[in-house]
Each structure stands twice: as structure tokens, then as C-alpha cells.
């Protein structure tokens, strides 16, 4: 029997059906069959749907567990630091010394390589230096990603693309470019294939936090400000040019020089040859590629007499009027101390200095005493490890226990080893009013320098040393360093090198330390020549003839760039000088 209900009654009925019960409007008809008819089919659909979802999630969970126990695939590409940016390095005037450039690197996907032998043969037509066996193993490894050649030239990239080898591709990386080349190589330093600093100021920058920024992916080019160095690229070029020419002219095994601002401690220029081209550093690790100015240790010879005389004067036990008997050699144990050009008479302190008397210097040290001598050299930083930004800094050496013989030989430059840069810094303290200022390769104002300066000798001692430096250039061994129009002072140093435990008569390490202008010194120039030969037959190979000449050339060419104006108003053309 079919029961027809008014349409108005269907809605409440459907609602009641959903609750599992149905009655007529008057409540007399109860519909139970509808619930029974539909309930079984609904449960079946729900169970089937739950089963499908359970199966899907079980599959996903099982896959995740499986992958969790697998070794991670590390061949998916380079780490982010490979292409991380580095800040530009510029000189004090903003000239670029190091910058990032984009370059292409070649990679392969071994799983897509069809014929490894054919791929290598084609690649060798563009990259003949490629290692066949190593490359073959890479292409047959089955890895998802392998590097084949980093930092290609644009032409190499174009030629490889034209080969059309399936499974080869390119990724853009950043490479360091050094516009100045070898001119500033030891100062600026190097990065490795992953653009990480490994030497020089490049390494210093990483140590200041750049490597952490790169690792975190925060080294974004637009956020990295240029690092401004203290060096002047114009002066740097002159210094490098002169030491390279000097090394060739005097047939030395090495040469070097530094220009130091005595008021601020800024290194204005520093070069050492042999050097290397940072854009192609194939020979950077050769044993003769050493920054001899900061990482080389040498007995500095008579340049250390500057400190001996200053020590004697600063002790108060010696004055410029004091006299020392240099008429006879000094014998101590089995050693005999002679003068190279002995006067065989009593010498005043200025004469001891300008004649570079070993005997007179030894007696100056005797007047101070062993402990006072050692303390003074440490006070001047000569025997301490130098504190500066450049990572390549050597630690000086000295006798563990100082005896009388040590003090005597150290007085004229034998028995301790230090770096040429430290020697220049110590000499700067002798002429700048007595303030020891640690050197810096970053720009620094005079006010900043004085806030970290240490008073090491008196004003009177500093004044006396300026007088002695100027006197030595006029009447002593520093005459070859004079430059017309500038008042240059300085001190030579010719030291016999130790060969097989003995001092050699044929191999010298020569140095010359110059200061200018002597009225109020602004700069120190220290030059070195390692094992120079006589320029001509019959000539000597002392510091005056090579290191002194190199210093004069550097001052002549760079003084105006350093802001020093020549003054020819005096009769000899080299007495007074003004500066900007």
C-alpha cells in the first residue's frame, strides 16, 4: 500500500529518518523498515572508505620509515657556501683589490650518461688536462651528481655546450678575481675553490665572521660592505716594482720592502718577491713563496744597533757625549768581536752609530746589563709575536737563557731572529716620539692609533735617534738612501747568514731602515735583500749598495703620493721638508 504524504510533511520526515525513526504527522505511523533498509549499506560504505585511507597512510608511513634508515645522498649538488658571496676588498682610496665574478662549473649526472668513454673523449677535446681515469670512475659511479671541472672560462663553457653530451650541465658559481694580480698577493691573500679565504686578508675576513654568515646562507652580496685596507695601491705598485727589480739587479734569492706610517701604524705598502699571481696560484705553495716581511725570521744585523743605542740612551747610563773604547777587539770565550771597518780608537756614541761599530755596540749593551737588554727588546716588540690582522706572522726566536756572550752578539744583530716588519715597527717607535703602535692593514686614524699606543722610550731618546738617523744618512752608511729634496735618515744592516750551523762569509741578509722626513718623520721604509751578489766585479754586496739603494728609489717615487712635499730651499737640497 502506497501512502501519499503532503509535500509540506516531507521535510520533517526526512529529518526524522536521519535520526533513525519516522512517524506520521499524527504520530500513529512508525517507519522502522526505512532505517533497517539503509543502515546496512551505509556501514559498508564507511568501512570501505576507512580501509582505503588506512591503506594509503600505511603505505606512506612505511615509505618514510624505509627512507629514514637509508644513507643520505650527498651527491645532489654543491653546498650553499660554494656560491656564497664575499665582500670586495679595496685599498685606502677605493681601488678594487679583490671582487667576486660569476663563473660556470661543469657537472655530470652519471645515471643519465649512456657511454662514459665517448663522453670523456668528447670532453677531452675542450679540456685536454682532464684526468681520464678519475673522470671515468665518476661517470660510472651511478651517483646523482658529480663535479667534473670547476670555474670554466666562457669559451670553455661554450665549447662544451656545443658537444651536446647528455647528462652534462653547468652551475653558476662565484669566483674571486684580483685586478692587481701579484702586486698585492701576500697582503690580499687567496680563496680556495669554494670561495673560502685561506691566506692573507681573505682569511682574516673569514675569521671575523664571514664564514659563519656563509654557512647560514646570510652572506648576500648587496649586504656586504667593502673591506677597506690601509694600503695605497699606487705605492704598493712602486714597492713591488722596486723589490722585483732589485732582486734581479742584485741577483738575490729574495727581496722585500714595507712602507709604514709611523703616526698610525698603517701599512701603506708591503711586498715580498718571489710572489705569485692569485688569479693563477699554481706556484703559491712553492717553498720559496713566502711573505718574508711578516712570516720570515732573520737576524737583522746592524739594523738592531738602532735598538742597542736607543736602549743605552734611554737607560740614562749613556748620553750622546759618552765614549767607548773600540781600539781593540772583544774576546769572549772562543769568540772574537771585530769591527767591519774599524777605526781602532775611542768612539763617541754618534760615531759608534754612523761607523756601525760592533765593539762600541757591545759595550753599550754591557753598560745596560743582560736583563735590561732583554727587557728592552721585548718592550719594543722585537722578540714578541706581532699582533696584526695578517695571519702569516712568525714568532721571533731568542736564547732560552741570556748569557754575556748572547747580549754582546745581539747588540750588533746576531743571536736573535725577528721579522722585517717587526723591525720596522720598532724603529717607528724610536722616531715618532717613543710610541709603539702595532701595525695594521686596515685604515686607522691617528686618534685611534694613539688610544692603543704604548710609550716605550722617552721623548729625549726619540729626539736623539732622529738626530742619529739623519747624521748616518749624511756622513755614515746611509748615504746611498738620500733623496734630493727630502731629508732621509736611516741605518744599514748586513748580517752573515747561518749555513750548516756556522756563519757564512759568502751569504748575507741585508736590510736598510729609512725614515723621512727627519724633521718630523711620517714614514718608515724598510727594505731587504736576501743573499745579494755584487752588482759589478770588485764591488761589495753590503746593505748600503743594494737595500739602501732600493729604499731611496721607493722614497723618490712614492713620497709625493704619500703627501710629502720636497723642499729644496736648503743648500744641500735635502735638509728641510714640509708635508701635507
Query: 375: how many CB neighbours lie within 10 A of its CB?
Result: 13
In angstroms, the Cα distances linking 97 to 87, 183, 191 are 11, 10, 13
- In the chain, DSSP finds a helix count (H) and a strand count (E) of 18, 20
Tell me how far the alpha carbon of residue 341 is from its chain's centroid: 41
Whether residue 390 contacts residue 201, with contact meaning beta carbons closer than 8 Å, is answered with yes
At 94 the three-state DSSP class reads coil
Q: Is 353 left (phi over 0), alpha (psi -120 to 50) or beta?
A: alpha
Query: 381: how many CB neighbours lie within 10 A of its CB?
Result: 23
For residue 414 the three cell numbers come to: 746576531
- Strand 96-108 to 227-228 pairing: unpaired
Question: Secondary structure of 523-553 in the HEC alphabet?
Answer: EEEEEEEECCCCCCCCCCCCHHHCHHHHHHH
Sequence-distant (≥ 6) Cβ neighbours of residue 26 within 8 angstroms:
none
Whether residue 358 contacts residue 301, with contact meaning beta carbons closer than 8 Å, is answered with no
Whether residue 364 contacts residue 397, with contact meaning beta carbons closer than 8 Å, is answered with no
d(CA 63, CA 216): 31
- Mutual orientation of helices 358-368 and 305-315 as an angle, nearest 10°? 40
Whether residue 478 contacts residue 499, with contact meaning beta carbons closer than 8 Å, is answered with no
The single residue listed with the C-alpha cell 529529518 is 15
Cα torsion 352, 356, 359, 364: sign: positive
Measure CA of the first residue to CA of the last residue in the chain; give whole Å: 121
Sequence-distant (≥ 6) Cβ neighbours of residue 121 within 8 angstroms:
none
For residue 159 the three cell numbers come to: 665549447
d(CA 229, CA 233): 10
Query: 562: how many CB neighbours lie within 10 A of its CB?
Result: 19
Q: Which are the catalytic amino acids?
A: 302
Exposed e or buried b per residue across 545-558, where buried means at least 16 C-beta atoms within 10 angstroms of its C-beta: bbbbbbbbbbbbbb
For residue 483 the three cell numbers come to: 733623496
The set of long-range contacts for 453-458, using a CB threshold of 8 Å and a minimum separation of 24, is 456/379, 456/380, 456/429, 457/310, 457/314, 457/429, 457/430, 458/314, 458/434
Amino acid at each position: 500500500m502506497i501512502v501519499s504524504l503532503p509535500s509540506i510533511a516531507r521535510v520533517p520526515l526526512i529529518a526524522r529518518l536521519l535520526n533513525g525513526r519516522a512517524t506520521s504527522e499524527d504520530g500513529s505511523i512508525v517507519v522502522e523498515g526505512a532505517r533497517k533498509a539503509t543502515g546496512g549499506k551505509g556501514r559498508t560504505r564507511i568501512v570501505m572508505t576507512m580501509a582505503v585511507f588506512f591503506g594509503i597512510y600505511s603505505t606512506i608511513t612505511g615509505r618514510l620509515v624505509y627512507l629514514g634508515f637509508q644513507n643520505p645522498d650527498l651527491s645532489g649538488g654543491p653546498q650553499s657556501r660554494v656560491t656564497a658571496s664575499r665582500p670586495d676588498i679595496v685599498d685606502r682610496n677605493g681601488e678594487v683589490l679583490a671582487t667576486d665574478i660569476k663563473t660556470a662549473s661543469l657537472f655530470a649526472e652519471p645515471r643519465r650518461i649512456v657511454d662514459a668513454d665517448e663522453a670523456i673523449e668528447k670532453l677531452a677535446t675542450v679540456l685536454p688536462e682532464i684526468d681520464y681515469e678519475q673522470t671515468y670512475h665518476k661517470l660510472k659511479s651511478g651517483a646523482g651528481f658529480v663535479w667534473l671541472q670547476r670555474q670554466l672560462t666562457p669559451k670553455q663553457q661554450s665549447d662544451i655546450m656545443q658537444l651536446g653530451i647528455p647528462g652534462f650541465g653547468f652551475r653558476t658559481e662565484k669566483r674571486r678575481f684580483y685586478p692587481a694580480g701579484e702586486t698585492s698577493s701576500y697582503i690580499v691573500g687567496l680563496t680556495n675553490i669554494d670561495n673560502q679565504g685561506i691566506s692573507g686578508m681573505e682569511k682574516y675576513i673569514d675569521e671575523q665572521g664571514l664564514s659563519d654568515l656563509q654557512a647560514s646562507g646570510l652572506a648576500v652580496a648587496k649586504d656586504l660592505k667593502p673591506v677597506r685596507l690601509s694600503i695605497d695601491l699606487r705605492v704598493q705598485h712602486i714597492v713591488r716594482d722596486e723589490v722585483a727589480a732589485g732582486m734581479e739587479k742584485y741577483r738575490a734569492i729574495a727581496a722585500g720592502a714595507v712602507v709604514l706610517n709611523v703616526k698610525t701604524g698603517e701599512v701603506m705598502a708591503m711586498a715580498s718577491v718571489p710572489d705569485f699571481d692569485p688569479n693563477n696560484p699554481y706556484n703559491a705553495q712553492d717553498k720559496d713563496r713566502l711573505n718574508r716581511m711578516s712570516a720570515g725570521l732573520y737576524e737583522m744585523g746592524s739594523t738592531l744597533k738602532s735598538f742597542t743605542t736607543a736602549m743605552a740612551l734611554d737607560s740614562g747610563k749613556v748620553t750622546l757625549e759618552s765614549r767607548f773604547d773600540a781600539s781593540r777587539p772583544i774576546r769572549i770565550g772562543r769568540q772574537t768581536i771585530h769591527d767591519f771597518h774599524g777605526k781602532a780608537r775611542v768612539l763617541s756614541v754618534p760615531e759608534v752609530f754612523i761607523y756601525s761599530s760592533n765593539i762600541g755596540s757591545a759595550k753599550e749593551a754591557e753598560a745596560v746589563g743582560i736583563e735590561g737588554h732583554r727587557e728592552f727588546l721585548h718592550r719594543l716588540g722585537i722578540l714578541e709575536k706581532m699582533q696584526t690582522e695578517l695571519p702569516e706572522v712568525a714568532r721571533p726566536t731568542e736564547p732560552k737563557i741570556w748569557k754575556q756572550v748572547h747580549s754582546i752578539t745581539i747588540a750588533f744583530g746576531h743571536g736573535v731572529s725577528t721579522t722585517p716588519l717587526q723591525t720596522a715597527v720598532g724603529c717607528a717607535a724610536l722616531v715618532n716620539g717613543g710610541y709603539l703602535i702595532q701595525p695594521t692593514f686596515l685604515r686607522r686614524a691617528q686618534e685611534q692609533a694613539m688610544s692603543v699606543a704604548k710609550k716605550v722610550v722617552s721623548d729625549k731618546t726619540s729626539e736623539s735617534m732622529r738626530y742619529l738617523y739623519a747624521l748616518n744618512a749624511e756622513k755614515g752608511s746611509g748615504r746611498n738612501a738620500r733623496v734630493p729634496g727630502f731629508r732621509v735618515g736611516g741605518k744599514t744592516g748586513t748580517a752573515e747568514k747561518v749555513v750548516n750551523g756556522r756563519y757564512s762569509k759568502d751569504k748575507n741578509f741585508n736590510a736598510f731602515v729609512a725614515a723621512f722626513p727627519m724633521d718630523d718623520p711620517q714614514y718608515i721604509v724598510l727594505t731587504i735583500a736576501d743573499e745579494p751578489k755584487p752588482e759589478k766585479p770588485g764591488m761589495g754586496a753590503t746593505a748600503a749598495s743594494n737595500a739602501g739603494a732600493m729604499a731611496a728609489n721607493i722614497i723618490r717615487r712614492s713620497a709625493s703620493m704619500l703627501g710629502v712635499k720636497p723642499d729644496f730651499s736648503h743648500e744641500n737640497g735635502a735638509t728641510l721638508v714640509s708635508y701635507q
